[in-house]
Structure 1
Amino acid sequence: MDKTPRDHGGNLDAAMHRFGGDRAQWIDLSTGINPVPYPMPQLSRHAVAELPTTSDMAALREAAAACYRTRAHVTPLAGAQAAIQAVPHLAVPGLARVLSPTYNEHAAALRARGWTVEDVPEIDALAGAECAIVVNPNNPDGARHDPARLAALAAHVGLLVVDESFADPETDLSLAPHLHSGPENILILRSFGKFYGLAGLRLGFALSSGGIARTLADMAGPWPVSGPAIEVALRALTDTAWQAETTARLTRDVARLDTLGLRAGWSLVGGTPLFRTYATPDAAAAQEHLARHQIWSRIFPYSPHWIRLGLAGTAAEWSRLETAL
């Protein structure tokens, strides 16, 4: 079993332990979560006091399918992470290849279930794997891959997993609208919490063929997501005005963040409308400097130079970040 520590953003407890302060004093920019979340509605009694019904789940699947413009089968799960944990169980363990560097939970989940995992730097190197993983757009460098190229890759692997957790603001990147007419060995993962800023609801979706969907549903059980998550998502996934306004704001805000980063002497590695990764002379020193201002960031064990920042949410947070940089 793989015992390699899984480092993550969002580990604000570690920052507070090392640098002091309480949660209210810190700005957590270590994740790629929208800092201006979808407004929470008043929840109904049904959502919080009763088990989700079959019709509740059907409505959620329909809303997600419409939002992601897909005719694929939709399986709601407790976050995209739940789908990542399920992937190793979809086939007999064999050779998996992960387009790297990327989100480390994909490789870790596979290794924990006995898969042999190879990190590969080019998309063509995924061919021949019994399971191939691509994050599109990628976390943390923002690399983007043409959906048609990914669909073609499926013919050369056993199972192709495309993690689209950060694709909401860039809909043209999504393979989801084409999944119904493509190979049946593709699994697309979508996160609800990142774009809508409600990571605590723990909601995500797996888009796939019917066979994969039935297997995932059997593994997830009869109530894979909560009533509050369903009720909020039914509003958010159909709120096209909010989605458009949020995409425009995120685009403006990452341009603002780039201005601050470049002014600080950093160079842009890449990113998405929800985060940016920069190259610095010493990422650990840069992280510590920001932490002294009680701003938490994300660095990576495989690079001494990369530092990733999410977006500030308020005028006061932006001012503090500008001062610190």
Structure 2
Amino acid sequence: MSARWTWHGGGIEAARRHFGDSDWIDLSTGINPHVWPGTADIPVDWQRLPDPEALTQLEAVAASFFGVDPRHVCAVPGSEIGLRLTGTLVSRPARHIAPSYRTHGEMLAESMPIDREAARRHDGTLILANPNNPDGHAIGADAMQALLDARGPDDWLLVDEAFADVDPAASVATSVDDDARLIVFRSFGKFFGLAGVRLGFVIAPQPIVAALRERLGAWPLSAAAIAIGTAAYADRDWIATTRRRLPAEAAALDALLARQGFRPTGDCPLFRLIEVDDAQALFERLARRAILTRPFADQPRWLRIGLPADADARARLEAALADG
């Protein structure tokens, strides 16, 4: 199978070239199919550099959404960059819970994979995603606090909360403080369905925030990212409606998969993981019906399926799964 689809979600244009041009449904990315609708109404002045005060406002609005002090928030051009930059600041031997994001194993010096059970006994620097990707496993608030309490005095807990916005109950962001060895990463694009904006946040003790700002320089974000992010995080009605909508649609996806003989797993409403004898064959069968999903080179039995946008997309997916 081409590494193009096992390396990361997306790649719809490559799918068109390989499988044929059609009306594709992209279920490979794990982002909200219901895009925040206000982008077209936001004016952006492309002739001026982004205003520093506008960036400060964005961080304040985002901090309110996260439930944290703005002093602990640093906006970055995507959480991927935030993870890698932070890794240079806390570089030390570490462990990362696997399977998860590839970046987690690359951002810290000498980082080694560890499973969830072993992580409970590990007292050194640890990075994990909550909810995790690709299995969608979520660690509850009490268990997350136990992981934080288990860190040694010179070690860090680094938590990638890219998928936490749908249900922030398990978030540890509110525990970030200058005296806590805790750093949290949040992503804008997944919950708001706008991955192309390239916007993320690092929530950290103030010395880490200051060091990040020094590395990012004077204009880390585009004017469009600042404007869109500020408006979206302030849209409380859309946020509340979306937090109710996504779990209901995930339940519909679960029911669809169960009817076709699959046992979906995951606590994140934006995607489900299924295990089959030959995930590559199922990936290709769906792709021939213009439905793109996410296979994994190192897990040949796994297929991740994103949330369909509506009843028509669910019907197409179910028909393709049934036509084996």
TM-score with structure 1 length normalisation?
Answer: 0.89
**Whole-angstrom CA distance in 2 between matches of 1:18 and 1:6:** 15
Counterparts of 1:182-193 in structure 2, within 5 Å, are 183-193=179-189
Partner of 1:55: 53
Residue of structure 1 in register with 2:114 after alignment: 120
* Structure (1/2) with the larger strand percentage: 1
Task: Confirm whether residue 165 of structure 1 aligns to residue 159 of structure 2.
Answer: no
CA distance in 1, matches of 2:73, 2:202: 6
Preserved CA contact (<8 Å) 2:33 2:308: yes
Quick one: distance in 2 between partners of 1:278 and 1:187?
31
Q: CA deviation at 1:232?
A: 1.3
Alignment coverage as a number of residue pairs: 310
Q: Report the 3-state secondary structure (helix = DSSP H, G, I; strand = E; otherwise coil) of the residue aligned with 2:266.
A: strand
Is the counterpart of residue 253 in structure 1 residue 249 in structure 2? yes
Name the residue aligned to 2:147.
150
Measured against aligned partners, the alpha-carbon deviations of 1:120-158 in whole angstroms (never above 9, x if no partner) come to 002224422xx4211001111122223322321334662
1:186-229 CA distances to partner (integer Å, 9 max, x unpaired)? 11000000000111110010000001001111111111111111
Q: Which residue does the alignment assign to 2:236?
A: 240
Tell me the SS of whatever aligns to 1:137: coil
1:50 aligns to what SS in structure 2? coil
Equivalent residues of 2:19, 2:288 under 8 A apart: yes
Evaluate the alpha carbon distance shift between residue 161 and residue 324 of structure 1 in structure 2; reply closer, same or farther with a 3 A threshold: same
Equivalent residues in 2 for 1:49-88, closer than 5 Å:
49-71=47-69, 73-88=72-87
Preserved CA contact (<8 Å) 1:160 1:185:
yes
1:178 deviation in Å?
Answer: 2.1
Deviation per residue, 1:235-279 (Å, 9 max, x gap): 111111111111111111111111111112111232401111111
Structure 2: unaligned runs, 5 residues or longer: none
Change in Cα spacing, 1:223 to 1:261, as seen in structure 2 (3 Å) is same
Which amino acid in structure 2 is aligned with residue 256 of structure 1? Answer: A
CA RMSD between the two structures: 1.9
Q: Provide Cα deviations, 1:24-55, integer angstroms capped at 9, x if missing partner.
A: x2111001111111012423243x33211121
1:136 pairs with 130, 137, 156, which one?
130
* Range 52-61 or range 5-14, more displaced: 5-14
- Within 5 A, what are the aligned runs for 1:1-325? 7-21=7-21, 25-39=23-37, 40-46=39-45, 48-71=46-69, 73-92=72-91, 94-110=92-108, 115-122=109-116, 123-128=119-124, 131-145=125-139, 146=141, 147-155=144-152, 158-180=155-177, 183-325=179-321
Please give the alpha-carbon distance, in whole angstroms, between the structure 2 residues aligned to 1:276 and 1:127.
31
Distance in 1 (CA, whole Å) between partners of 2:60 and 2:48 is 21
What SS does the corresponding residue of 1:151 show, helix, strand or coil?
A: helix
Q: Which moved more, 1:225-234 or 1:193-202?
A: 225-234
Report if aligned partners of 1:137, 1:272 keep a CA contact under 8 Å in 2: yes
Q: How big is the shift at 1:6?
A: 8.0
Contact 1:250 1:274 in 2 (8 A): yes
Q: TM-score, normalised by structure 2?
A: 0.90
Task: Say whether the 8 Å CA contact 1:139–1:271 is kept in structure 2.
Answer: no
SS at match of 2:101: coil
Using the TM superposition, name which of 298-307 and 239-248 deviates more: 298-307
User: What SS does the aligned partner of 2:183 have?
Assistant: strand
Deviation at 1:183, TM superposition (A): 4.1
Distance 1:254 1:17 in 2: 30
Write the distance in 1 (CA, Å) between the matches of 2:246 and 2:154.
35
Identity %: 36
Gaps (5+ residues) in structure 1? none
Q: After the TM superposition, which of the residue ranges 28-37 and 144-153 deviates more from structure 2? A: 144-153
Q: Distance in 2 between matches of 1:156 and 1:261?
A: 46
Aligned partner of residue 200 in structure 1, secondary structure = helix
